[in-house]
């Protein structure tokens, strides 16, 4: 199938599909005309890529893990337990990012709670009619 058909089947933009190809996640055959030709399994591959992106993995990590993943049509799962340390590393990275975001939110809450609700002055004054 051509890239437009793959885009329609998966709901993923042609631009994203080209990016996945650049990242080595999809490998179409190039026809003599220069067109990309994808096999039927490409739609499943794109589904796996999207699931792994939604799980917070970057394309470099996906390129490493995707060949070892099994898509049974209902879910994506590791093909062997040897992948678990890599997945745990990514989970730990996400946990750290969540902690940083929560700390940033708490800092913003502190600033907001310290704001005096009195009339704004100086640079904080909103011009009339705004």
Residue-wise pLDDT tens digits, 47-72: 999 999 999 999 999 998 888 888 87
Instruction: Tell me the average pLDDT across 98-115.
Output: 94
Print the SS3 string covering the chain.
Answer: CCHHHHHHHHCCCHHHHHHHHHCCCCCCEECCCCCEECCCCHHHHHHHHHHHHHCCCCHHHHHHHHHHEEECCCCEEECCHHHHHHHHHHHHHHHHHHHHHHHHHHHHHHHHHCCCCCCCCHHHCCCCCC
Domain membership of residue 13 as a residue range: 3-80
In a domain, 76, yes or no: yes
In a domain, 123, yes or no: no
In a domain, 67, yes or no: yes
């Amino acid at each position: 199938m051509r890239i437009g058909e793959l885009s329609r089947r998966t709901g993923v933009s042609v631009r994203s599909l080209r990016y996945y190809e650049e990242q080595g996640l999809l490998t179409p055959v190039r026809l003599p005309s220069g067109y990309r030709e994808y096999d039927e399994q490409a739609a499943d591959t794109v589904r796996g890529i999207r699931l792994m992106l939604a799980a917070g993995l970057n394309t470099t990590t996906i390129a490493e893990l995707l060949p070892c993943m099994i898509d049974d049509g209902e879910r994506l799962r590791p093909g062997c337990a040897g992948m678990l340390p890599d997945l745990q590393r990514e989970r730990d990275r996400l946990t750290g990012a969540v902690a940083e975001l929560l700390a940033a939110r708490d800092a913003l809450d502190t600033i907001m709670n310290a704001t005096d609700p009195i009339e704004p002055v100086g640079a904080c004054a909103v011009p009339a009619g705004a």
